Amino acid sequence: MSLKIYHNSQCSKSNAAWSALENHHIDFITINYLENPPSVEELKELIQQLGITPLELVRVNETIFNEKYRGKNLTDEELIVAMHENPILIQRPIIVKDDKAVIARSEEAIRSIL
């Protein structure tokens, strides 16, 4: 089993998910995606694993989204590039297990991937 979490230590939901994995004594890899943003290809794979659209992965209330992207008719590719260039726009936390992923903002979502 391969498990990893895309983590932002400044986010309470991300910290809760990280702690839940620790509490279950599960080995996992932590990816601080703000310091090491996923590539465009990695983002495409995450979106496919999550089963969502690129827009559903974007944190649309972030200041940078409102300043640079709101109101523009962006393609999926442009949204993915925007997330790569501005990783704060990526929903968090994301837990990936094998070929599936969840946005782990709730205990239910975390349980669903474990």
Q: Structure tokens of 5?
A: 């979490």
For the chain, give the mean pLDDT.
Answer: 95
- The model carries a pTM of 0.92
Q: Does pLDDT of 36 surpass 90?
A: yes
Q: What are phi and psi of 85, to 5 degrees?
A: -75, -25
Residues 51, 103 contacting (CB under 8 angstroms): no
Residues with catalytic function: 11
Q: What is the CA radius of gyration of the chain?
A: 14
Cβ partners under 8 Å of residue 46, min gap 6: 6, 38, 57, 94, 96, 101
Residue 40: in which H helix or E strand, if any? helix 40-50
Q: Does pLDDT of 1 surpass 70?
A: no
Architecture of domain 1-33+92-114: 3-Layer(aba) Sandwich (3.40)
pLDDT for the residue 14 = 95
Q: What is the mean pLDDT of residues 57-75?
A: 95
Q: What is the mean pLDDT of residues 24-51?
A: 96
Q: Does pLDDT of 71 surpass 80?
A: yes
Q: What is the mean pLDDT of residues 60-82?
A: 95
Spans of all domains in the chain:
1-33+92-114, 38-89
Q: What is the mean pLDDT of residues 42-56?
A: 97
